[in-house]
Structure 1
Amino acid sequence: MTQQLTLLSPSGERTLVELKEAPDFTRPAAPLRSRVAYAAAHVVPRTAGDNTPNAPADIDWDATLGFRRNLYSWGLGVADAMDTAQRNLGLDSVATRELIARSAEVARYSGGALVVGVNTDHLSDVSVSLATAIDAYKEQLHFAEDHEAPAVLMASRHIARAADGAADYAHAYREVLQSASQPVVLHWLGEAFDPSLAGYFGSREWQFAAATVISIIEENVDRVSGIKMSLLDAAAEVYLRERLPNGVRMFTGDDFNYVGLIGGADVPVATQPDIDPSSERRHSDALLGAFAAIGPAASVAIQALDADDPARYLEVLAPTEELSRQIFSHPTYFYKTGVAFLSWLNGHQPAFQMMSGQHSSRSLPHLSRIVELANAANVLEDPALASERWQAMLRLNGVEA
């Protein structure tokens, strides 16, 4: 007998849809080749912990690190201690350092690729001098390096407040990059993810900010391995991608348009921005929060590119983009709720909980739409378990099937 899912509309109307069978996805037999792909992983709180607003993070380390091992088993890398791990929204500086240290150990034992976020968010003052912010960046960078974890230099709220134009950004990044012992990944995070970062790199106009980014990279090209771009603007990403120096990767952080950006010239997509035929930059690699939500599908899609099968790539990955757009819908910075919700539905954590109570940041109809789209996109890893957990959550909230 076909199982059905109960869905809930914003008006309170209940509908039923057919529950799909588990996806027939297979883990890769060899490392992924055609794209470099990192899933920005979330953090699982301890169910009995006091993970209320402003409380120190109380982390379920077994579930948190188990989730990372699962991503590695699918051939994906892990981007840790990033926004998806609730930096500035529950993950305090003490927990951040422990997460980096533990995650680095798991990566070493698992043979997995890891990058970790470094920032200035351990500073207690909201506003500091540019010099103080630079020193804070260096402190976190050196901690990551001490644990043999390659760094992603995350966009900093302190730098955004202290910098007075593009020259200050160039100075700050020059100072930090020259102190790095190995190349790092830069991060351009748009204000949809964090309104306090508006005008980052010295301008609210992305073309002017892009010129500053290119200048920073060209000046420090031996210290920059790539840049993660999270503006949710595919055309802006392609523009910058085509102008990067040789050897510097573009990691898409565009959770709205990743199918075309990762597929690139290998996978014609109608909504994809034009790619300059003369450009050597034919695609973006990936560093995505969305990939934490759809890890097996992301792996299988890249396996298809490895096998020179763009049709299979689109078959698997294209349906996930509407799901990702729902997870990352306005206000975008609450996307972590959707990632944790899918983790719970897929059996990777014992409860739908988040640090600082962030699991309450999305409505029941919003979560219902995630369930609907996850089912349609074939990313419910154990559909029967997902249905059981979703139905229990509905009943808990007074909604009967």
Structure 2
Amino acid sequence: MALNLPTYDGKLEAYALQGDPLVPGAPRVPLTRTAFAAAHVVSDPLAERDPWVGRPAVDWENTLRFRHWLWDQGLGLAEAMDTAQRGMGVDWLTAKELIERSMVEAKAHPLKPRVACGAGTDHKTLAELPDEAAIIAAYETQMEAIEAAGGQVILMATRALPAIGAGPETYARVYDRLLSQAKDPVVLHWLGDMFDLALKGYWGGSDVDAASDAVLAIINANRAKVDGIKISLLDQAHEEAFRARLPEGVRLYTGDDFNYAALIEGDGTYYSHALLGAFAAIAPAAAQALEALAQGDTATYHALFAPTVPLSREIFKAPTQFYKAGIAFLAWLNGAQSHFIMPAGFQSSREISHYAEVYRLADQARVLSRPDLAEERMRLLLALHGIG
């Protein structure tokens, strides 16, 4: 049945689902690319109090249920990163509990999925991080907690280093210290200022070429302790040039939610792995495209990924930092969660016209795995907004 969906020009247009969903399932062959989906957090609607103040009341059942949905399709998990509202409703103590709970679930899962977890400095205020010694100590606290839980460490970009005006030499000292004491190889994290304005000038300067040189120097000095680097600059040409300069054995994990298909396929010599929020939104297509790539079937790979790109571009439209709402919305439409109430009321960061467009594009990308449920829930959301 057609629904009257709002458009960006303020009109209503009838839209009926195509009804050709991909069936979620585990890959039948080993994948040739490492793929981490970055997952979000939802709050317990019955327990949440004053959602803009204090710690969120996490709905652990629904939050972990979504992670199982990703793991069941053969994807790894990037845990407690910006996708999980770190710095936007989720504090470190909640993130620590999230990591611990996810690691327990992952160890018991039959597919034994990889889980990499974000370590940052967000349990301290910027005023409490006035110098590199304080920043190192803050990172160490979170790294120790992740390692104790059995997770792989992702050294998330911290707002504290740009805040103190750190130059390349300071970044080198901080990262050398952290990498030297890491138990296992870690993933570095380069998040562009389109995701977080406070990270402008990361690695010690505003020039992207100089920043690239600075972080490559850190990697080359610590290559035994670096699994890879996740880059989210939404710049395909830069990523392709950067990954060609990485030392052998160090992976490039793309965080480019616009150009992932070409970057993951590669140019015949170099290719990117994936650490993407988009993969949490398009999990069935992502898992099955990577399975096709592993079998050498590039035609199916592109056929599966191509229609997901407009969807991802809509989810990650400016202001980009609000993309998490679209991912949670799709989890709800797919029945992977029973609601999409988010910490700090984050679901309200996007408008109904955006959700309507995500609904259309998700259908066309074949990632609404339960069309009848998706239509029922979209109807409810439209009624909430006074649209019959």
TM-score by length of 2: 0.96
Name the residue aligned to 1:275.
none
1:288 to 2:248 alignment: no
Give the alignment partner of residue 42 of structure 1, picking from 36, 40, 65: 40
Give the alignment partner of residue 8 of structure 2, picking from 3, 7, 10: 10
Name the residue aligned to 2:220.
218
Q: How big is each residue's C-alpha offset from its partner over 1:79-111, in whole Å with a ceiling of 9 and x where there is no partner?
A: 000110000001111111100101111111111
Query: Structure 2 matches for 1:321-400, cutoff 5 A?
Result: 321-400=309-388
Count of residues in Structure 1 that have an aligned counterpart in Structure 2? 384
Worse-superposed segment, 215-224 or 139-148: 139-148
Name the residue aligned to 1:70.
69
The separation in 1 between residues aligned to 2:80 and 2:364, in whole angstroms, is: 30
**Residues 4 and 387 in structure 2, CA contact (< 8 A), matched pair in contact too:** no
Name the residue aligned to 1:27.
25
Query: Structure 2 matches for 1:1-400, cutoff 5 A?
Result: 3-25=1-23, 27-30=25-28, 32-50=30-48, 52-110=51-109, 111-126=112-127, 127-265=129-267, 280=269, 282-400=270-388
**Residues 29 and 291 in structure 2, CA contact (< 8 A), matched pair in contact too:** no
Task: Describe the shift of the 1:168–1:301 C-alpha distance in structure 2 as closer, same or farther (beyond 3 A).
Answer: same
The separation in 2 between residues aligned to 1:210 and 1:312, in whole angstroms, is: 34
**Residues 25 and 297 in structure 1, CA contact (< 8 A), matched pair in contact too:** no
The separation in 2 between residues aligned to 1:75 and 1:325, in whole angstroms, is: 24
The separation in 2 between residues aligned to 1:50 and 1:331, in whole angstroms, is: 26
Describe the SS at the equivalent of 1:7: strand
1:145 CA drift (Å): 0.7
Q: Which runs of 5+ in 1 are unaligned?
A: 267-279
Task: Describe the shift of the 1:185–1:31 C-alpha distance in structure 2 as closer, same or farther (beyond 3 A).
Answer: farther
Q: How big is each residue's C-alpha offset from its partner over 1:13-38, in whole Å with a ceiling of 9 and x where there is no partner?
A: 11112312142435235453211100
Task: Describe the shift of the 1:31–1:43 C-alpha distance in structure 2 as closer, same or farther (beyond 3 A).
Answer: farther
1:48 CA drift (Å): 1.3
The separation in 2 between residues aligned to 1:350 and 1:69, in whole angstroms, is: 14
Task: Describe the shift of the 1:198–1:362 C-alpha distance in structure 2 as closer, same or farther (beyond 3 A).
Answer: same
Task: Describe the shift of the 1:73–1:244 C-alpha distance in structure 2 as closer, same or farther (beyond 3 A).
Answer: same
**Residues 223 and 247 in structure 2, CA contact (< 8 A), matched pair in contact too:** yes
Letter in 1 for 2:297: D
The separation in 1 between residues aligned to 2:98 and 2:10, in whole angstroms, is: 40
**Residues 155 and 186 in structure 2, CA contact (< 8 A), matched pair in contact too:** yes
C-alpha RMSD of matched pairs (Å): 1.3
1:125 CA drift (Å): 4.1
